[in-house]
Amino acid sequence: MEERLLIERVDAWLDAHTEELIETLSALVSIPSVVGHEAEAQAFMQDRYSAAGLDVDVFEADREVLRRHPAFVDSGLPFDGRPNVVGIWAGAGGGRSLILNGHSDVVSPEPLSAWLVDPFAGRILPADGSSQVAGSSVGSYGRLYGRGAQDMKSGLVANLFAVRALKEIGVRLQGDLILQSTIEEEAGGGGGTLACFVRGYLADGFIATEPHWHDIAIAHPGILYFRVVVEGRSAHAGRAHHGVNAAVEMAPIISMLGEWDRERAATRHHELFERLDPTARRSCHLNVGVVRAGDWPSTVPGRAEIEVRMSFIPGETEASIKREIAERVGAVAQRSAWLRDHPPRIEFFGWHTDPWLQDERHPFVQAFAECVREMRRSVGRPPPIIAGITAGLDTRFAGQFGVPALAWGPDGAGLHGANEYVELDSVIEVTRTLAIFAARWCGIAHAS
């Protein structure tokens, strides 16, 4: 089929099915699939994959098998009743394969008091921006609000409707097209996307339709979570000289980490991570996100702990960063008579990954970027920037299996915050682009 005709037929199909697409997204957003509770959302996606005529594989991750993989991040959540759902549209042969990946889990919407709409109502506000929540420049279809609307149930639905568009206009692809609806991306992706790769789902290209509208994401920094624990000695505040205040002993460690963050900000740079915001010149971060000590004003706290998220750039490794953390915390401890004899304990937990870096010159990246540029040019939008981002993505697992990968998806705002929304026009545009790219990448065997 001539591509001009293919685009016309995809556009006509989308025009006829836009209302269904929006209704499907609204229904999915209405399912409260906070990470660890994805079962209902996954059943929803299973039904939609089956209805689209895909071969569907529903499976629960095997923790013992996954533990053997160096990239495994253990969320600590049980996998029972939380399956991954894969839909396969087998090609006729002779073409390249493609995975369209997304996750159904979302982060907590708390605090609910910050929301101006019900985070699990899947509410659509009008295009005229008449609601107090909506702002200017709302597209013709308006905005759909709710937890997960942008991150990333809109991407899941775009993937599905891109496949349906091709199938229902009579296209048969040469290469396999694989849809994935996974669990626990927000908790590290170990039981989700990694489990899909370990199960054997490989392809010639991998797209996670995460909400990267202004950029095509091809890199992210290494990430580590760690905890520092200081043990003191409890006492009544009126006899505080008989105790050792763990919070006070912890304070110099927190100060050191703040200084180290500023030092790294000034000296650790990678051009890819600074393309989107070149004025900030910021490639990595060190964030003390949790501080705990004591539970009563009149008691000397006998224990203090902090939890930290640290990122690092290509050229640095997880092993080297762990060594430096130990060295710097140890150096602070040597300045305290108490900590010299009661050294702080460092524990690594949760997220951990070396930097992920996809070669932007790879034919897969270049082909996809060109497709996005062409589709955007046709509707008068500026091209996206190929760049790295400073948050983690499931795309990193693809590199472990030799699969080229990137992330790109719908526009919106408020992800992980209050009043999250997705621009519905962008969901339709992403669907259109994915359908055209899949036809190009996988090849068309025939079309009716």
Question: Which run of H or E residues covers position 219?
Answer: strand 215-220
CA distance 175 to 440: 10
286 has a pLDDT exceeding 70: yes
Q: Is the separation of the CB atoms in 206 and 375 below 8 Å? A: no
Q: What is the pLDDT of residues 369-399, one digit of tens each?
A: 999 999 999 888 899 999 999 889 999 999 9
Question: Given pLDDT bands bounded at 50, 70 and 90, which one contains residue 422?
Answer: very high
**Euclidean distance between the first and final Cα of the chain, in Å?**
9
Q: Can you give the pLDDT at residue 323?
A: 97
Cβ within 8 Å of residue 60, ≥6 positions away: 79, 80, 81, 82, 83, 84
Q: What is the pLDDT of residues 204-242, one digit of tens each?
A: 999 999 999 999 999 999 999 999 999 999 999 999 999
Q: Average per-residue pLDDT in the chain?
A: 95
Kindly list the distances between the CA atom of residue 86 and the CA atoms of 60, 201, 364, 443, in Å, as whole numbers in the listed order: 11, 9, 22, 21
Identify which of 82, 50, 324 has the alpha carbon closest to the alpha carbon of residue 185: 82
Q: Can you give the pLDDT at residue 127?
A: 53
Percent of the chain with pLDDT over 70: 97
Q: What is the pLDDT of residues 43-60, one digit of tens each?
A: 999 999 999 999 999 999
CATH topology of domain 3-220+355-447: Aminopeptidase (3.40.630)
CA distance 401 to 378: 35
Strand extents, DSSP E, 92-132:
98-103, 123-125
CA distance 347 to 41: 34
- Which tokens go with 292? 């705990």
Q: Fold identical between 3-220+355-447 and 223-353?
A: no
1 has a pLDDT exceeding 90: no
The residue whose two tokens read 């202004």 is: 214
296 has a pLDDT exceeding 90: yes
CA distance 137 to 143: 10
Q: What is the pLDDT of residues 352-364, one digit of tens each?
A: 999 999 999 999 9
Q: Can you give the pLDDT at residue 447?
A: 72
Neighbour tally for 246: CB within 10 Å:
26
Which region among 39-48, 248-257, 273-282, 422-431 has the lowest average model confidence (pLDDT)? 273-282
Q: How many Cα atoms sit within 13 Å of 97 on the Cβ side?
A: 14
Q: Can you give the pLDDT at residue 135?
A: 35
How many residues are there in the chain? 448
31 has a pLDDT exceeding 80: yes
Is 0.85 surpassed by the pTM of this model?
Answer: yes
Spelled out in words, what is the top-level CATH class assigned to the domain 223-353?
alpha beta
Q: Can you give the pLDDT at residue 140?
A: 86
Q: What is the pLDDT of residues 322-343, one digit of tens each?
A: 999 999 999 999 999 999 999 9
Identify which of 52, 28, 50 has the alpha carbon closest to the alpha carbon of residue 41: 28
- pLDDT mean over 12-29: 97
The residue whose two tokens read 């013709």 is: 140
Q: Is the separation of the CB atoms in 218 and 358 below 8 Å? A: yes
Kindly list the distances between the CA atom of residue 14 and the CA atoms of 17, 21, 252, 429, in Å, as whole numbers in the listed order: 5, 9, 59, 10
CA 211 to chain centre: 8
Kindly list the distances between the CA atom of residue 336 and the CA atoms of 103, 230, 246, in Å, as whole numbers in the listed order: 46, 12, 12
- Which tokens go with 76? 């600590």
CA distance 181 to 219: 22
What are the residue ranges spanned by the domains of the chain? 3-220+355-447, 223-353
Q: Can you give the pLDDT at residue 139?
A: 59
Q: What is the pLDDT of residues 104-155, one digit of tens each?
A: 999 999 999 999 999 999 999 875 444 443 333 445 899 999 999 999 999 9
Q: Can you give the pLDDT at residue 448?
A: 72
Q: Can you give the pLDDT at residue 125?
A: 86
CA distance 6 to 170: 10
Rounded to 10°, the helix 154-168/3-29 angle is 140
